[in-house]
């Protein structure tokens, strides 16, 4: 899909999208076109009784073929229900809906006329920017591995935005593109098959951000062994692919010495479960077990592209959890980078082993102001809250509130769960400082978070369990089936709203 801007005008042979309100009254430039067509548009609307009466549907439109006196071959009049109350996210969804329409009718040359589309709480420029973001995000597709690309699939839809405000819009569009590119990178990393997107390949992708001003360093097994990262390293022992820890630094704050905020991602390129092998059915889903690292890499891309005024560290622990003759056995004891020892009772509870060393490293090396980790950590979080919310676990109320707020704005919602000493006790081990699974039955997502907390000192920290939100089995308003990149928009908003400038 290709997006262009221009001043208001008509174009021969193109398809136009204009808007009306819930009472079917044309808005903004639509009114002007109606005049030019000598009311052909409004008369067509009026003659469609059911369109006139429908107020409840969120996605509603009418088609006008060969409109009189206008140069378009077709006009879609899109009904905006309750436009006054639209939020930023509603405009993203509007963009997603418009894309569904364009795709459904296979339109290739479309002009959208947004002038006059205005909510009470969102500025015109912001509303159109959000709509464009929605259009772009919804248009994602991954076609790399089809050996034959048919022409239909190749054909690119041209979407043009004609408005009197186009010069002001173009500036905003830079931010929209930065978010779109970050989200696209995350979705690509998550969608790539695990024989391709191995830990070294993920590290290479992190390193590719050097081009846009991110400082990147990558530790391999040798360096991590020297540092004593026995917890992270224990996970990759069964794999042919070398484990990596990639560190990305973006210094956008005017004070380069200001303490950074840090994002840490679980990057298990494939999770077989290890010796505690997973059942075959559904195992293919475990290619998205690197989703947390995918979000951190894509987020760093967005922040760098839009030159965020914040100092940000991204750390991703990259490993493959595979079976093999060197693989960790249930009951092995390993020593983490923090010095604490861990009895590995279940090799399928590997994410926490990776994050333990990544968290400790981030905290010790960068003394961050706060840490947020993202991980497809537990199946239990899906049992608890399904696929609409991600789980939030934190030692800090203010940080939790900021994350929840940003999540609401972007419709990447979080639900906070409790942490408590009583849960912490459930991971005590009779032979080491802790064990990697709980000895009790319930609260699997909480005991996993308690495990992580043992690798966090006093620093404000939040853990997002994104196991249920990283991959969608159904199409969402601004995301096709598959990798969602849940977390990129949320954390980008978290940074811009609360951690930039000051
Ligand atoms: N990667 C999985 C969690 C997961 C499950 C992510 C489903 C996405 C969808 C994680 O490593 C895992 O295997 N967790 C175990 C923990 C258990 C052994 C304590 C689980 O959830 O079953
Ligand atoms: Mn696992
Ligand atoms: Zn896993």
pLDDT tens sequence across 229-250: 999 999 999 999 999 999 999 9
How many angstroms does the Cα of residue 467 sit away from the middle of ligand 1?
8
- Minimum-distance ligand 1 atom for the alpha carbon of 273: 13
Q: Are 434 and 454 in contact (CB under 8 A)?
A: yes
Start and end residues for every CATH 3.40.630.10 domain found in the chain: 179-498
How many angstroms does the Cα of residue 57 sit away from the middle of ligand 2?
42
What would the pLDDT profile of 354-413 be if each residue is shown by its tens digit?
A: 999 999 999 999 999 999 999 999 999 999 999 999 999 999 999 999 999 999 999 999
What would the pLDDT profile of 326-340 be if each residue is shown by its tens digit?
A: 999 999 999 999 999
How many angstroms does the Cα of residue 157 sit away from the middle of ligand 1?
40
How many angstroms does the Cα of residue 290 sit away from the middle of ligand 3?
8
- Region 467-471: what's the mean pLDDT? 99
How many angstroms does the Cα of residue 289 sit away from the middle of ligand 2?
8
What would the pLDDT profile of 472-493 be if each residue is shown by its tens digit?
A: 999 999 999 999 999 999 999 9
Does residue 471 sit in helix, strand or coil?
strand
Say yes or no to pLDDT of 220 above 70. Answer: yes
- The DSSP code for 470 is S
Task: Say which residues have a Cβ less than 8 Å from residue 326's Cβ, sequence separation at least 6.
Answer: 237, 238
Start and end residues for every CATH 3.40.220.10 domain found in the chain: 2-166
How many angstroms does the Cα of residue 214 sit away from the middle of ligand 3?
28
How many angstroms does the Cα of residue 268 sit away from the middle of ligand 2?
9
Distances (CA, A) of 255 to 250, 345, 368, 459, 475: 12, 45, 14, 21, 43
- Given ligand 1 and candidates 273, 378, 443, which is best to mutate, with the most ligand atoms within 8 Å of its CB? 378
Q: Give the ligand whose atoms come closest to the C-alpha of residue 465.
A: 1
pLDDT for the residue 55: 75
Q: Does the annotation count 32 as an active-site position? A: no
Distances (CA, A) of 185 to 137, 182, 348: 11, 5, 27
- Given ligand 1 and candidates 379, 437, 439, 469, which is best to mutate, with the most ligand atoms within 8 Å of its CB? 379
What would the pLDDT profile of 156-183 be if each residue is shown by its tens digit?
A: 789 999 999 988 888 899 999 999 999 9
Say yes or no to pLDDT of 154 above 80. Answer: no
- Minimum-distance ligand 1 atom for the alpha carbon of 380: 21
List the one residue out of 243, 258, 308 whose CA is nearest residue 498.
308
Q: Which of 352, 454, 489, 493 is catalytic?
A: 352
Rg (alpha carbons) of the chain, rounded to whole number: 25
- For residue 217, how many other CB atoms are within 10 A of its CB? 13
Look at ligand 1, atom 17, and give the residue with the nearest C-alpha. Answer: 349
Q: Domain 179-498: what homologous superfamily? A: Zn peptidases (3.40.630.10)
Q: Does the annotation count 352 as an active-site position? A: yes
- The DSSP code for 479 is B
Q: Give the ligand whose atoms come closest to the C-alpha of residue 447.
A: 1
What is the SS3 string spanning 148-195? CCCHHHHCCCEEEEECCCHHHHHHHHHHHHHHHHHHHHHHHHHHCCCC
Q: Give the ligand whose atoms come closest to the C-alpha of residue 376.
A: 1
Q: What percent of the chain has pLDDT over 70?
A: 99
The overall average pLDDT reported for the chain is 96
List the one residue out of 126, 139, 53, 43 whose CA is nearest residue 91.
126
How many angstroms does the Cα of residue 52 sit away from the middle of ligand 1?
50
Q: Are 45 and 143 in contact (CB under 8 A)?
A: no
List the one residue out of 180, 105, 186, 87 whose CA is nearest residue 136.
180
pLDDT for the residue 152: 59
Conformational region of residue 366, where left means phi above 0, alpha means psi within -120 to 50, and beta covers everything else:
alpha
Look at ligand 1, atom 5, and give the residue with the nearest C-alpha. Answer: 379
Q: Give the ligand whose atoms come closest to the C-alpha of residue 282.
A: 1
Instruction: Look up the pTM and report it.
Output: 0.98
pLDDT for the residue 151: 60
Say yes or no to pLDDT of 303 above 90. Answer: yes
pLDDT for the residue 247: 99
- Minimum-distance ligand 1 atom for the alpha carbon of 438: 19
pLDDT for the residue 310: 98
- Minimum-distance ligand 1 atom for the alpha carbon of 437: 19
Domain 2-166 in CATH 3.40.50.720: no
Q: Ligand 3 is a single-atom ion; what residues have CB below 5 A from it?
A: 268, 271, 289, 351
- Region 106-134: what's the mean pLDDT? 96
**pLDDT-based confidence at residue 1 (cuts at 50, 70, 90):** confident
Distances (CA, A) of 297 to 133, 208, 344: 19, 10, 29
List the one residue out of 401, 393, 361 whose CA is nearest residue 374.
393
What would the pLDDT profile of 65-93 be if each residue is shown by its tens digit?
A: 999 999 999 999 999 999 999 999 999 99
pLDDT for the residue 149: 73
Distances (CA, A) of 167 to 7, 114, 117, 388, 453: 9, 14, 17, 37, 49
**What gap in Å lies between CA 272 and CA 444, rounded to an integer?**
19
Q: Which of 158, 251, 278, 413 is catalytic?
A: 278
pLDDT for the residue 153: 60
Ligand 1 lining (C-beta closer than 6 Å): 271, 285, 289, 346, 348-351, 376, 378-380, 437, 444, 467
Q: Give the ligand whose atoms come closest to the C-alpha of residue 344.
A: 1
- Minimum-distance ligand 1 atom for the alpha carbon of 448: 19
pLDDT for the residue 392: 99
- Region 184-210: what's the mean pLDDT? 99
- Minimum-distance ligand 1 atom for the alpha carbon of 289: 1
Look at ligand 1, atom 7, and give the residue with the nearest C-alpha. Answer: 379
Does residue 19 sit in helix, strand or coil?
strand
Interstrand relation of 158-162 and 109-112 (parallel, antiparallel or unpaired): parallel
What would the pLDDT profile of 35-63 be if each residue is shown by its tens digit?
A: 999 999 999 999 999 999 887 777 899 99
Task: Say which residues have a Cβ less than 8 Å from residue 359's Cβ, sequence separation at least 6.
Answer: 264, 371, 373, 452, 455, 456, 461
């Amino acid at each position: 899909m290709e997006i262009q801007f221009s001043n208001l005008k008509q174009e021969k042979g193109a398809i136009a999208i204009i808007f009306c309100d819930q009472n079917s009254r044309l808005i903004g430039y639509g009114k002007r076109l109606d005049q030019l067509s000598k009311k052909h548009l409004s008369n067509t609307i009026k003659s469609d009784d059911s369109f006139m009466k429908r107020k409840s549907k969120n996605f509603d439109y009418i088609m006008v073929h060969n409109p009189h006196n206008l140069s378009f071959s077709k006009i879609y009049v899109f009904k905006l229900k309750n436009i006054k109350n639209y939020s930023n996210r509603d405009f993203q969804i509007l963009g997603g809906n418009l894309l569904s329409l364009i795709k459904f009718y296979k339109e290739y040359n479309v002009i959208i006329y947004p002038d006059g589309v205005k909510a009470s709480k969102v500025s015109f420029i912001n509303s159109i920017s959000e709509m464009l973001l929605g259009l772009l995000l919804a248009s994602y597709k991954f076609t790399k591995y089809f050996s034959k690309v048919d022409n239909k699939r190749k054909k690119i839809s041209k979407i043009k935005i004609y408005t009197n405000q186009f010069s002001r819009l173009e500036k905003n569009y830079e931010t929209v593109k930065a978010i779109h590119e970050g989200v696209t990178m995350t979705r690509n990393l998550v969608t790539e098959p695990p024989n391709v997107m191995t830990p070294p390949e993920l590290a290479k992708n992190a390193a590719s951000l050097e081009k846009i001003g991110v400082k990147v360093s990558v530790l391999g097994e040798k360096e991590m062994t020297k540092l004593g990262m026995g917890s992270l390293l224990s996970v990759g022992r069964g794999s042919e692919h070398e484990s990596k820890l990639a560190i990305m630094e973006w210094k956008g704050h005017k004070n380069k010495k200001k303490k950074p905020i840090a994002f840490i991602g679980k990057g298990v390129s494939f999770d077989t479960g290890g010796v505690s092998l997973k059942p075959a059915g559904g195992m293919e889903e475990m290619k998205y077990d690197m989703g947390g690292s995918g979000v951190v890499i894509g987020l760093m891309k967005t922040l760098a592209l839009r030159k965020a005024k914040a100092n940000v560290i991204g750390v991703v622990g990259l490993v493959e959890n595979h079976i093999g003759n060197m693989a960790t056995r249930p009951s092995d004891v390993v020593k983490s980078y923090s010095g604490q020892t861990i009895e590995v009772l279940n090799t399928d509870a590997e994410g926490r082993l990776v994050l333990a060393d990544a968290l400790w490293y981030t905290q010790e090396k960068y003394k961050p102001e706060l840490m947020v980790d993202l991980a497809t950590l537990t199946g239990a979080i899906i049992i608890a809250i399904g696929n609409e919310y991600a789980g939030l676990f934190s030692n800090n109320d203010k940080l939790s509130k900021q994350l929840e707020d940003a999540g609401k704005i972007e419709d990447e919602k979080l639900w906070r769960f409790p942490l408590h000493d009583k849960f912490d006790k459930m991971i005590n081990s009779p032979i080491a400082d802790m064990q990697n699974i709980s000895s009790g039955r319930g609260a699997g997502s909480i005991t996993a978070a308690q495990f992580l907390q043992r690798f966090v000192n006093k620093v404000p920290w939040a853990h997002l369990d994104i196991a249920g939100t990283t991959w969608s089995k159904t199409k969402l308003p601004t995301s096709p089936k598959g990798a969602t990149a849940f977390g990129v928009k949320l954390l980008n908003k978290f940074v811009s709203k609360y951690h930039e400038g000051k």
